[in-house]
Structure 1
Amino acid sequence: MPPVKRVLRRGVLGTATSLAALLTLAGCGADRDTSASPRPATGSVRTATAVGLPPLHAGFDYQIGGAYPPAADVRIVSRDRSSSPVRGLYNICYVNAFQAQPEERGQWPADLLLRDADGEVVVDEDWNEALLDIRTPDKRRRVAERVERWIDDCADKGFDAVEPDNYDSYTRSEKLLTADDATAFITLLSRHAHERHLAIGQKNTAELAGLRKRTGLDFAVAEECGEYDECGTYAQAFHDRVVVVEYTDSGLRKARSAFGGRLSIVRRDVNVSTPGSADYVRRTR
């Protein structure tokens, strides 16, 4: 089960210089993207040119912690790549693209795990996930080849889109990775997703949202953007094509107050648990 990526792994901007850079980047995405058009529901015939985007301002559920029957109001659902899509809904497939989950670390070649000057693997301590080494074109290609197989599985199962997690891993890399490394890698994944007729979502990383046309990203999956006043950044860059996950009542209130009539917003528990669990929460108001 993939861990939920909360604010601890978000690249929140902390300096005036970074904020100025964000404002500059955000302006780069101001032109509306007309290259993609909605595709019929899952199970329908896909054309060679169409990439279906998630519907605007639609009921949403975030089920990466375990699949269950969506509520009647749900039109968009995100699930782990090990799960199956829901016929008739817009289905997003979660893949952990920039880091290795603990149980999968041993499946990666040793040289594709990011290492510091002492040869130690750089680990995201919050989730015990090894960062993947995407510093060179060759390593990006090799990492992408493995992630692209997961994307192929998503497409073969009938998902409509893919959600590659940990785009912001460079912010936890001890300065070994850069934003340029991250954008070069996500661009490879975007190209492959589009070849498989899947849309691709930007996961968090508000500071890079303005580069979405360069990277080929189609929509955003934004965790706690209400809580941290970032929803506007994603809304501007992706023309309201944003699905929002809040983990607190205050975050839900803030997101709904400012963007309740524009974005797809859900409140989930931090463990994204399934109904019947003591922790389970799913609310939209």
Structure 2
Amino acid sequence: MPPRAAGFDYRIGGPCPPAAEGDLDAGLLLRNGGRLDECAAKGYRAVELDNYDSYSRSEGLLSTADAEEFMRLLSAHAHAAGLAVGQKNASEPASRKKATGVDFAVAEECGEQDNCAEFTEQFGDDVLVIEYTGEGLASACAKWGG
């Protein structure tokens, strides 16, 4: 089956990763794998793989399974390079963290959005919370411990 056309992801200002049925674009893994190798070579200990939830904005061009498979491939590559792997903001796939190789979460504005527990239930203390307002920080600390 030919690769599906890429959808547009407004958050990154570009196309979502194209995928063929059951087979992700090897070029994307090669390009991203090189970036992960560069991070490891520079001494980074972890990477956060953003836009894991692009499937939710792809207008049906990407599925949850596509995103999970790509995350599995990137996580395996990152782990082989000695890097821990984090997911950002998408709490829905957190329950599949073992299957996708994710080690921690980055949760932006979970205090403000009242969804820190969605991350801590799956990742325990392995959650980096980022708040941009005093109210959000107070909410996160009050409910999650701080």
TM-score, structure 2 normalization: 0.89
* 2:126 pairs with 1:241: yes
Letter in 1 for 2:17: L
| Alignment match, 1:174 | 59
* 2:106 pairs with 1:221: yes
Measured against aligned partners, the alpha-carbon deviations of 1:176-224 in whole angstroms (never above 9, x if no partner) come to 1111111111000111111011100011110111001111110001111
Q: How many residue pairs get matched?
A: 145
Q: Quote the Cα distance in structure 2 between the aligned partners of 1:142 and 1:127.
A: 18
* 2:50 pairs with 1:165: yes
Normalized per residue, the structure richer in helix is: 2
Cα distance change of structure 1 residues 135 and 252 upon mapping to structure 2, 3 Å threshold: farther
Q: Quote the Cα distance in structure 2 between the aligned partners of 1:184 and 1:127.
A: 20
1:200 aligned residue (65, 80, 85)? 85
Letter in 2 for 1:183: E
Is there any run of 5+ residues in structure 1 with no aligned partner, and where? 1-110, 116-120, 262-285
* Structure number, greater radius of gyration: 1
What is the RMSD of the two structures over their aligned residues, measured on CA atoms? 1.9
Is there any run of 5+ residues in structure 2 with no aligned partner, and where? none
Cα distance change of structure 1 residues 183 and 157 upon mapping to structure 2, 3 Å threshold: same
Find the residue that maps to 2:113 and give its secondary structure: coil
Find the residue that maps to 2:110 and give its secondary structure: coil
Question: How far has the Cα of 1:126 moved from its partner?
Answer: 4.8
Q: Percent identity at matched positions?
A: 46
Q: Are the counterparts in 1 of residues 120 and 126 from structure 2 also a CA contact under 8 Å?
A: yes
Cα distance change of structure 1 residues 140 and 229 upon mapping to structure 2, 3 Å threshold: farther
Q: Quote the Cα distance in structure 2 between the aligned partners of 1:127 and 1:154.
A: 20
2:34 aligned residue (149, 152, 160)? 149
Letter in 2 for 1:223: E
2:10 aligned residue (118, 125, 138)? 125
Question: How far has the Cα of 1:235 moved from its partner?
Answer: 0.8
